[in-house]
């Protein structure tokens, strides 16, 4: 069966309507970690709010301004990775839009939000009221935005359409990521509009699947440690069969995030990059 989250071939430079009052422009940054590119969402047809402006690429920013076709008033950020928030400052300087988002990581400082959103705060847009939902895990300050009236959730990199999220310690924490998945379960049914990949029609089913996937990965790590201690690298080759070599580093970071969480719960011991069962 085809999956619209995966069967997704955006036309770069052209915004596509995904719902009433909401359009999507995919940046020209396709790659092994970004799939077809970062999705930027344009809310409103007369006064535009951009959710995740994308990478700081002048061609892409020109695409965004042209696609908006109306004044861009606000740039809302899910998290401060360069492929999502890189263009915030340039777009704001060119349009006068205010930047709204979580407190930025001081080590990145891609932009300074004019308004910092906290969990539960709302942002008024032409397409309806967005509510910030703190969803740490992929990064410490990741936020999803709920457009409850439309049954839509802008899920950023917390839940993606095409792959599981990368959780990179120390900014990303597996314990937080799992708790943030539970937050979305509590939210109920929504269509997810992710940062990468097409819409996820049944967000709740996707979140449940992601939880199961992480639990299975954790079980595989514990199994790999049953007979002997292993390094992170050895665990990666034992449990990720047929992995695209371009993703080896991402897999190692994910195993490290799992290792931290197992260690926090007293299930493994870690000395440098060598793990053992307790
Ligand atoms: Zn990210």
CA 118 to chain centre: 17
Q: What is the pLDDT of residue 2?
A: 66
Evaluate if residue 249 carries a pLDDT over 70: yes
| Structural domain count of the chain | 2
* 227 alpha carbon – ligand 1 mean position (Å): 35
Domain annotation covers residue 48: yes
* 142 alpha carbon – ligand 1 mean position (Å): 9
Question: Which residue, 214, 233, 258, sits at the end of a domain?
Answer: 214
* 149 alpha carbon – ligand 1 mean position (Å): 26
What mean pLDDT comes out for the span 128-153? 96
Q: What is the pLDDT of residue 123?
A: 98
Q: What is the CATH number of the domain that holds 150?
A: 3.60.15.10
What mean pLDDT comes out for the span 47-56? 98
* 68 alpha carbon – ligand 1 mean position (Å): 24
Domain annotation covers residue 5: no
* 55 alpha carbon – ligand 1 mean position (Å): 11
**Do 124 and 235 sit in the same domain of this protein?**
no
Evaluate if residue 272 carries a pLDDT over 70: yes
* 276 alpha carbon – ligand 1 mean position (Å): 30
16, 10 Cβ separation under 8 angstroms: yes
What mean pLDDT comes out for the span 211-235? 95
Structural domain range at position 249: 225-277
Please write the tens of the pLDDT for every residue from 54-90. 999 999 999 999 999 999 999 999 999 999 999 999 9
Residue 256's closest CA among 213, 228, 218, 224?
Answer: 218
The whole-chain average pLDDT of the chain stands at: 93
Q: What is the pLDDT of residue 34?
A: 86
**Do 123 and 170 sit in the same domain of this protein?**
yes
**Do 233 and 169 sit in the same domain of this protein?**
no
**Do 199 and 247 sit in the same domain of this protein?**
no
């Amino acid at each position: 069966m085809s999956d619209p989250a995966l069967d997704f071939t955006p036309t770069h430079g052209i915004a596509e309507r995904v719902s009433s009052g909401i359009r999507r422009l995919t940046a020209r940054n396709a790659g092994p970690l970004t799939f077809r590119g970062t999705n930027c969402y344009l809310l409103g047809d007369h006064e535009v709010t951009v959710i995740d402006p994308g990478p700081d690429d002048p061609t892409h920013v020109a695409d965004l301004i042209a696609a908006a076709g109306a004044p861009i008033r606000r740039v809302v950020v899910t998290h401060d990775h360069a492929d999502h928030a890189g263009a915030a400052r340039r777009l704001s300087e060119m349009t006068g839009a205010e930047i709204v988002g979580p407190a930025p990581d001081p080590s990145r400082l891609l932009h300074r939000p004019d308004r910092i959103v906290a969990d539960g705060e709302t942002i008024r847009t032409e397409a309806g009221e967005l509510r910030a939902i703190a969803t740490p895990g992929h990064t410490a300050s990741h936020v999803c935005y709920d457009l409850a009236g439309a049954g839509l959730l802008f899920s950023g990199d917390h839940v993606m359409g095409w792959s599981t999220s990368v959780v990179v310690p120390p900014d990303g924490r597996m314990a937080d990521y799992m708790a943030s998945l539970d937050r979305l379960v509590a939210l109920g049914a929504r269509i997810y509009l992710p940062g990468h990949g097409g819409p996820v029609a049944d967000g709740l089913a996707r979140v449940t699947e992601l939880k199961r996937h992480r639990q299975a990965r954790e079980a595989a790590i514990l199994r790999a440690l049953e007979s002997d201690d292993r390094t992170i690298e050895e665990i990666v080759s034992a449990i990720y069969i047929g992995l695209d070599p371009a993703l080896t580093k991402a897999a190692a970071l994910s195993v490290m995030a799992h290792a931290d969480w197992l260690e926090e719960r007293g299930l493994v011991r870690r000395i440098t990059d060598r793990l053992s069962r307790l």
